[in-house]
Amino acid sequence: MNRALPLVALAALACAAPKPLPPPPPAPVARVEFAPAPAASGIDPSLVKAAVDPCGDFYEFACGGWLERTTIPDDQSRWVRSFNLMREENKLKLRAILDQAAAGQVSPEDRHGQLVADLYGACMDEPAIEKAGAAPLRAEWKRLGAVRDAGSLSAAVGRLHAAGTAVLFSIGSAQDSKDSTQVIGAISQGGLSLPDRDYYTKGDEKSAAIRAAFLAHVTAQLAAAGLPAPQAKADARAILALETAMAGSHWTRVESRDPQRTYNRLDLSGLKKAAPRFDWKGYLAALGAPGLTAFTASTPKALEQLNALIARTPPATWQAYLRWHLLADAAGARALPKGLSDPAFWFQASHFTGEKAMPERWKHCVGMVDGLLGEALGQAFVRRHFGGEAKARALALVGGVQQAMGRRIAGLDWMDDATRARAQEKLAAVDNKIGYPSAWRSYDGLTVKRGDFLAAATAASAFEMKRQLAQIGKPLDRTEWGMSTPTVNAYYNPSMNEMVFPAGILQPPFYTQGANDAVNYGAIGLVVGHELTHGFDDQGRRYDARGNLTDWWSKPVSDEFDRRAACVERQYSAYPVIDEVKLDGKLTLGENLADLGGLKLAFSAYRASRAGKPEEAPVGGFSADQQFFLAHAQAWCAQIRPENARLRAATDPHSSARWRVNGPLSNLREFAAAFTCGAGAPMVRAERCDVW
């Protein structure tokens, strides 16, 4: 799949769902501020903690009132004022669409309305899931008993990949990074159960405790699914040992950020040379793509380790590993009885996310349909909730931010003329996708049946895998989107040199009709500037105007960029997250550069939009410039559970909310001027970092 850089990390989506059920009563959750319809001002002065000096801690100043009266809902791992409120609202909108469709009221305008109704219906039919028990899973387990050698292992992996279960590694389609007109196969490191390689390789107490808990969890789940207790215990140990050996060959999260490191073009003979014991021909046949010959492999040493593991791993261990991943995927999708699905949720919650309650079934099922049939559901969402005027306003704002970037490039004293010309060429070539796709994806040929959620979810996953693999070797489809339209997020894709802003994020508080320009540029303008800066961050800058991975920078300019970026890396590496854990300045560098550059661009675009116009009216005693920075900060007011804070510090390329506010603002002279912050104030860095 094309590599996309979203504004915020997205939670993984599970699977699918049947018969309309009456809306359940709302589950009791912890106290939380659900804001009323946003005021026309677009900012909320009541969130401000006036006793805090804005030049000392602007995040606490802008969000302190909200933080004091807001508790994370029990079914959430964190609560970000803007994103989570918008996502919950969109879930309700999608639920209304799906409940209506599942009740048989499918609009003729919804081409795939019956399909989404059946998937949602299958997911919501808990009695059918309980009645089926683990029988559908054990039927596939029985097939895995045929894994006896490298050939049968390769065929089983291909069959599982075709159905959407990513064991050993993952496969999909991607643009060739060095010839963006080509679509090739992409083989990436994967196949682990824990969130990151470091959970297997680190020797600290917390990591060891998580591995011990994982071992107990796998043992219990395998036994609950029908294995004899002694076998479940032995299989769990074998699975952990195998995954630990796999993890040691994976790139770290920081290493994986290097697009040169992760681009390794291979043909079929190259794959055979990298891992000759794996039957690639048999694998591709089982995958349903026997004709594939062009690939990129993210991690060559993972293929070498796969080859070594095939030589020394007994068939019983491979069978156990494959059985476990089938079980884990199905349980995580809540496609199995509660006796299996509930423990899967609580293991994650206990160690990585911290929720105190499982999301209601309807929320889970809405997420599954959006994840598996996003464009089928998205058509109905757009027709009901996204007007054409919103798209026009967004396009105008995007244009203003791009012009600000053009002015910024033109005025950089550290960039030579040749590199500057290439940067302007890339900027001019950026493709903006606003609201919804120009051509909706077809789901013709996919059928799902109510009454068997596991089969329905598997069918939808298999359909998507087949769609991706069919793209390989075909002309590049530049209309494709990597997010569904209701998604409250945005991304930049360097291979396509495009920015994508789904309809889901183009609403309050990111865009508030009638609010001052200062507010909208501080909120949605920052989102636009953030994504645009990704095209020129430490990763995106390596791609040219056509999306090719190539070095188009002169060496002196490249060296100067790296020097300036190192300032940002040092700054964020000093920020605490929780207890002894600090941010990883290398892991978060791209997002931090995007936040810093995005704010500068948004502020410049705001000022340009007001040229020749009177200054905008104060709101809550705040000047227009102050409103700009408040709108940015209040979008990031957030509470997070300790477990999730630790997980994100290890795996998330985004900084935590406090530092997404204070980090970039402490580098901005415009912020210091707006709040009259003097030299030496905590929000005025002595070493200002300045890149874009």
CA 530 – CA 558 distance, rounded (Å): 21
Q: Which position among 140, 235, 498, 595 bears the catalytic label?
A: 595
Q: What does the pLDDT look like over 180-234, one tens digit per residue?
A: 999 999 999 999 999 999 999 999 999 999 999 999 999 999 999 999 999 999 9
pLDDT for res 237: 98
Which tokens hold the place of 663?
Answer: 């980090």
**Which DSSP symbol is given to 549?**
B
Q: How sure is the predictor about 1, in pLDDT bands with cuts at 50, 70 and 90?
A: very low
Q: Which amino acid is at 632?
A: H
Residue 23 pLDDT more than 70? no
pLDDT for res 289: 96
Give the residue extent of every domain in the chain. 148-218+237-315, 386-441+480-674
Please name which of 328, 306, 318 lies closest in space to residue 214, comparing C-alpha atoms.
328
CA 346 – CA 351 distance, rounded (Å): 8
3 state DSSP class of 210: helix
- Is 595 labeled as catalytic in the residue annotation? yes
More confident residue, 34 or 158: 158
Residue 31 pLDDT more than 70? no
- Is 615 labeled as catalytic in the residue annotation? no
Please name which of 535, 330, 505, 290 lies closest in space to residue 424, comparing C-alpha atoms.
535
pLDDT for res 513: 81
Rounded-to-10 torsion of CA 579, 581, 582, 586: -170
pLDDT for res 511: 87
CB atoms within 10 A of CB 445: 8
Residue 12 pLDDT more than 80? no
Backbone angles phi, psi at 555, to 5 degrees: -60, -45
How large is the average pLDDT for residues 122-143?
95
CA 62 – CA 67 distance, rounded (Å): 10
Q: List C-alpha distances in Å: 258 to 117, 221, 452, 560, 651.
A: 42, 37, 42, 18, 15
What angle separates helix 205-224 from helix 338-348, to the nearest 10 degrees? 180
Q: Among positive and negative, which fits the CA dihedral 108, 109, 111, 114?
A: negative
Residue 572 pLDDT more than 50? yes
More confident residue, 212 or 110: 212
Q: How sure is the predictor about 9, in pLDDT bands with cuts at 50, 70 and 90?
A: low
Bridge-based pairing of strands 491-493 and 498-502 is antiparallel
Which tokens hold the place of 186?
Answer: 């992409």
Q: Which residues pair with 80 in a beta bridge?
A: 638
Number of separate helices (H) and strands (E) present in the chain:
26, 12
pLDDT for res 665: 98
CB atoms within 10 A of CB 111: 15
CA 659 – CA 581 distance, rounded (Å): 14
Q: What does the pLDDT look like over 53-89, one tens digit per residue?
A: 999 999 999 999 999 999 999 999 999 999 999 999 9
Residue 40 pLDDT more than 60? no
Query: DSSP string covering 591-611, please?
Result: HHHHHHHHHHHHHHHHHHHTT
- 663-679: string of b/e by CB count within 10 Å (b at 16+)? bbbbbbebbbebbebee
pLDDT for res 37: 33
pLDDT for res 41: 63
CA 120 – CA 15 distance, rounded (Å): 10
Segment 93-98 long-range contacts (CB within 8 Å, at least 24 positions apart): 93/381, 93/384, 93/385, 93/486, 94/366, 94/369, 94/370, 94/377, 94/381, 94/486, 95/362, 95/366, 97/377, 97/380, 97/381, 97/384, 98/365, 98/366, 98/369, 98/377
CATH 3.40.390.10 fits 386-441+480-674, yes or no: yes
Contact yes or no for 64/48 (Cβ under 8 A) = yes
Burial class from Cβ neighbours inside 10 Å (0-12, 13-18, 19+) for residue 19 reads: middle
Q: What does the pLDDT look like over 322-380, one tens digit per residue?
A: 999 999 999 999 999 999 999 999 999 999 999 999 999 999 999 999 999 999 999 99
Which tokens hold the place of 468?
Answer: 């991706």
Averaged confidence pLDDT in the chain:
92
Query: DSSP string covering 131-184, please?
Result: HHTTHHHHHHHHHHTT--SHHHHHHHHHHHHHTT---SEEEEEEEETTEEEEEE
Name 447's Cβ contacts closer than 8 Å, sequence gap at least 6.
Answer: 115, 459
CA 517 – CA 526 distance, rounded (Å): 12
Q: How sure is the predictor about 42, in pLDDT bands with cuts at 50, 70 and 90?
A: confident
Residue 257 pLDDT more than 50? yes
CA 617 – CA 624 distance, rounded (Å): 7
Q: What does the pLDDT look like over 378-402, one tens digit per residue?
A: 999 999 998 777 788 888 999 999 9
**Which DSSP symbol is given to 336?**
S
Backbone angles phi, psi at 173, to 5 degrees: -110, 150
pLDDT for res 514: 83
Residue 508 pLDDT more than 60? yes
Q: How sure is the predictor about 17, in pLDDT bands with cuts at 50, 70 and 90?
A: very low
Q: Where are the beta strands (DSSP E) in 474-598?
A: 491-493, 498-502, 576-578, 581-582
Q: Which position among 531, 544, 569, 652 bears the catalytic label?
A: 531
Fold type of domain 148-218+237-315: Neutral endopeptidase; domain 2 (1.10.1380)
Please name which of 75, 119, 14, 11 lies closest in space to residue 330, comparing C-alpha atoms.
14
CA–centroid distance for 30 within its chain: 26
pLDDT for res 3: 47
Contact yes or no for 423/536 (Cβ under 8 A) = yes
Contact yes or no for 552/494 (Cβ under 8 A) = no
Bridge-based pairing of strands 576-578 and 78-80 is unpaired
Count, residues in the chain: 692
Q: Which residues pair with 5 in a beta bridge?
A: 492
Q: Which amino acid is at 149?
A: D
CA 515 – CA 282 distance, rounded (Å): 60
Residue 26 pLDDT more than 50? no
Q: How sure is the predictor about 108, in pLDDT bands with cuts at 50, 70 and 90?
A: confident
Q: Where do we find the tokens 């994967």? A: 190
Residue 111 pLDDT more than 90? no
Contact yes or no for 325/243 (Cβ under 8 A) = no
How large is the average pLDDT for residues 657-674?
98
pLDDT for res 16: 30
3 state DSSP class of 578: strand
Q: How sure is the predictor about 607, in pLDDT bands with cuts at 50, 70 and 90?
A: very high
Q: What does the pLDDT look like over 536-565, one tens digit per residue?
A: 999 999 999 999 999 999 999 999 999 999
Name 100's Cβ contacts closer than 8 Å, sequence gap at least 6.
Answer: none
pLDDT for res 106: 87
pLDDT for res 4: 56
pLDDT for res 15: 31
By percentage, how much of the chain surpasses pLDDT 70? 94
CA atoms within 13 A on the CB side of 586: 8
CA 389 – CA 195 distance, rounded (Å): 41
pLDDT for res 268: 95
Q: Which pTM value belongs to this model?
A: 0.91
CA 163 – CA 466 distance, rounded (Å): 9
Phi-psi region of 579 (alpha: psi -120 to 50; beta: other; left: phi over 0): left
End-to-end CA distance of the chain: 29
Q: How sure is the predictor about 49, in pLDDT bands with cuts at 50, 70 and 90?
A: very high
- Biggest CA pair distance of the chain: 79
